[in-house]
Amino acid sequence: MDSESYARFLPDSYRRRASEVEPTSTWWNWRGGRVHIARAAAPEASARVLVIHGAAGHSAALWPVCSPVAGMADLLVPDLPPYGRTAVPNPSGIRYSDWVDLLCDLVIAERRRDDRPLVLFGASMGGMLAYEVAARTGQASAVVATCLLDPADPEARRRAARGPLGSIPPAGLALLERLVGGVRVPMRWLADERRISGNPELSAMCAADPRGGGARTPIGLLTSFVNYRHVPPETFAASPVILAHPADDDWTPPELSLRFLDRIEAPTTAVMLEKCGHYPAEEPGLTQLAETLYSLVGNTLEESAEG
């Protein structure tokens, strides 16, 4: 599916914006693979925004949501394997730690050629990725996340995975990963994609997208996420963290993310996106998300100028 397929579920102004600001496809070589990165260059802007999708996401799926910030900041949206247009030698071997490594390497590579302030914006599982990458690289001016689903939280694990998978203890998950981690199955077997949106048509499209939810996902990608131990929030001081959580998220309720946010040492802010489901496509929450990014990028620009 392309970005227009997703944009048709958004308000008219967002559909127009997504069609006006079309991304440029670029490629980055990483570990023998080619990572696709959708970009909207803004050479005159004083900040950059790196958008990070989660499981079953990809750049085209998120482009209509984040396109309003294009022009105000340099915008880049990578496809994490096995999703989108990225190609790697062994997609069955992709694990959550590979996603963390890829994004850290990308942030460092981008920093070498462009030292403007960087905002990490993570959607769904991308929220914890943005948090982890900020902690590991120290290169982010701020983190914005629509979700902070901590896999160390038993309730969060149950929400993230479908059926009994979310209740298997860590030792059992490690065994499962060793036995069948490389087996690739439809994402709907691993997660309840019906809850991506309150709009059944949008949820169905996300689940069927051959570059996203319809792509076969290695079981080990999800088990490795559930078993991953992120940087403890009590020690996280890398950057401010803004939780912009869909208020009507039936898949990962806001309270799960809020209790992780409350433990973060760095300055934090919570914004509830009114009437939005897990995939934020509804008003007024969609505009609240855009305004959060506008305000954040603006503050980043001011701080850069003062510095």
Phi-psi region of 229 (alpha: psi -120 to 50; beta: other; left: phi over 0): beta
Is 140 a domain residue?
yes
Is 194 a domain residue?
no
Residue 144 has pLDDT above 80, yes or no: yes
Question: Based on the structure, what is the number of domains in the chain?
Answer: 1
204: burial class by Cβ within 10 Å (0-12, 13-18, 19+)?
A: middle
User: Which band of pLDDT confidence, cut at 50, 70 and 90, is reported for residue 163?
Assistant: low
Give me the pLDDT at residue 305, please: 37
* Choice among 90-99, 163-172, 277-286 with the minimum mean pLDDT: 163-172
Peptide bond into 280 cis (omega under 30): no
Is 101 a domain residue?
yes
Segment 210-220, tens digit of pLDDT: 999 999 999 99
Segment 251-261, tens digit of pLDDT: 999 999 999 99
Tokens 């890829």 sit on residue:
102
Residue 304 has pLDDT above 50, yes or no: no
Is 121 a domain residue?
yes
What's the domain range around 68? 3-157+231-306
Is 145 a domain residue?
yes
| Long-range contacts at 206-209 (CB < 8 A, ≥ 24 apart) | 206/56, 206/61, 206/279, 207/56, 209/1, 209/5, 209/56, 209/58, 209/61
Is 276 a domain residue?
yes
Is 190 a domain residue?
no
Going by C-alpha positions, the residue among 282, 273, 271, 270 that lies closest to residue 246 is: 273
Segment 47-76, tens digit of pLDDT: 999 999 999 999 999 999 999 999 899 999
CATH number, domain containing residue 45: 3.40.50.1820
Residue 306 has pLDDT above 50, yes or no: no
Please state the pTM of the whole predicted model.
Answer: 0.94
Is 301 a domain residue?
yes
